[in-house]
Structure 1
């Protein structure tokens, strides 16, 4: 089989030929229909998160995949060959961007029935992270105002939709080229960050979801109402800075959870849109990885073996 592999930290991963893996006890061999690349994959490959997600090189890229059960390992029950599934592997294990992947049976949930299986992998990290931020941490309520930075991005495109479903007034930053997209997803107001400083365009925000960090995190405090909440995705926010201004802050770093994944799959079956930047064959996975690393993908980058 073929797989996209990290070979050295800092290098672009390369497609290699490997032997088909065999599932062990409690594991399942999945024929991959689609794997979604995430910014975390780029951070792992660059060696920026070795303290949190150490990998043994060479290692197969990716955590998010959807496909069909090919073979059951010893002791696996509740699943059958041919079942359509979606899962997120441990980042230290990876293995998604390949023709086949061995995954723990306990990490899988049934794939959505209303989305193409090859695209469904886009839910596993991005939609579940957005769910975690909007529903679990913010506990967003009808009538509140939420600012979503990078609303056309992987997490942002789901956060806009979830905030809209919660009945919030949704403001998002996006380039002018992406304005139509984010409005279709449910944004009430779109701020073209290439022309307008968001701090001058919005105020009295209840919740900010920030997937950018740095200066954007700091300036986001200026648009929050007293007692408002900043949710940071790239890194833990400066809690003392926020508290000194009477604001709250939280860090959301997604951890795999089958109940959460099942929740976003259910929403996909109800019409939650998976925005796709591009789909590429496995032979072009290295180029797709580089595209994602440049930071301008709109929605998900999907590799389909």
Structure 2
């Protein structure tokens, strides 16, 4: 099968096309023929070598951990899926990712694809949707009436988190540039702070939860908008424990755990129209396409998700 791989850590020029063996599913696994995948920051962070101590993968590495496609083969007779089913998944984090024509995924990490999405839209959901879900509900335990701040609202996780928080009955504030203000209000944000002209800690206070997607100084300032007993979840870096203790808040780093059941719940919200996908960029499955996609993701200025169409 065709795959885009890296043979060593480095810049986007390391992304090269290669023929590799098509994987075979084991027990409780399924083989997915990939129609689309999407780009996430973990892709280029691993490519650059930033995560090599955490994820000790052997080369060649196939990056990518979002997929939407069709079940090609099932590894168990009593599988909940059958050949031909349309599915989406955030497969386990291995060195055999989704920049490829096929991927094997544990059945427990796969869900039925929402009927109202095409493959590209479906591929934009798993990693960002599950990250937002686990930050908001597993860690943050947000509920109706909570005040929630989501940083970088126009990004992949941000757009999902805004909709999920609003659907849960929260008051949602977010940070963004002026060009994205109307867009973010249209998907449920009650308040959008233009980070280029306004310091969010000057205008927001007594919040129950903050989702930090930026780290650094933004993360430090986020403690100041939380009320005592609030929660801060970071998807970038581990928050300072001493500061959390001083402020009387719960703070932690959230590393996504793939989960097919939660993905299925997300899929139902999407089918009901309560959560919508937002694909901002699409590219073909080629060395050039992947390199351009990585460049946009690294800029931190992508609006919505970056999708790679593998099969049409």
Q: What is the aligned partner in structure 2 of residue 25 from structure 1?
A: 26
TM-score, structure 1 as length reference:
0.94
Q: What is the aligned partner in structure 2 of residue 6 from structure 1?
A: 6
Unaligned runs of 5+ in 2: none
Matches of 2:9 and 2:307, distance apart in 1:
22
Q: What is the aligned partner in structure 2 of residue 81 from structure 1?
A: 83
Matches of 1:23 and 1:5, distance apart in 2:
19
1:286-301 matches, cutoff 5 A: 286-301=291-306
Matches of 1:76 and 1:40, distance apart in 2:
34
Partner deviation per Cα, 1:150-196 (whole Å, 9 max, x = no partner): 01111111111111111111110011111111101100110011111
Change (3 A) 1:208 1:18: same
Q: Does 1:231 align with 2:236?
A: no
- Residue 127 of structure 1: how far off its partner (Å): 0.6
Partner deviation per Cα, 1:99-154 (whole Å, 9 max, x = no partner): 22233334321111111122201111101111111122222122221111001111
State the aligned residue count.
305
Matched residue SS, 2:124: helix
Matched residue SS, 2:152: coil
Q: What is the aligned partner in structure 2 of residue 197 from structure 1?
A: 199
| Residue pair 1:25, 1:76 contacting (<8 A) in 2 also | no
Q: What is the aligned partner in structure 2 of residue 39 from structure 1?
A: 41
Q: What is the aligned partner in structure 1 of residue 123 from structure 2?
A: 121
TM-score, structure 2 as length reference:
0.92
Q: What is the aligned partner in structure 1 of residue 176 from structure 2?
A: 174
Partner deviation per Cα, 1:239-294 (whole Å, 9 max, x = no partner): 21111122221221111112221121121112211111211111212210121122
The correspondence for 2:283, drawn from 280, 287, 293, is 280
| Residue pair 1:279, 1:301 contacting (<8 A) in 2 also | yes
Matches of 2:52 and 2:78, distance apart in 1:
32
Unaligned runs of 5+ in 1: none
User: Please, what is the CA RMSD of the aligned residues?
Assistant: 1.7
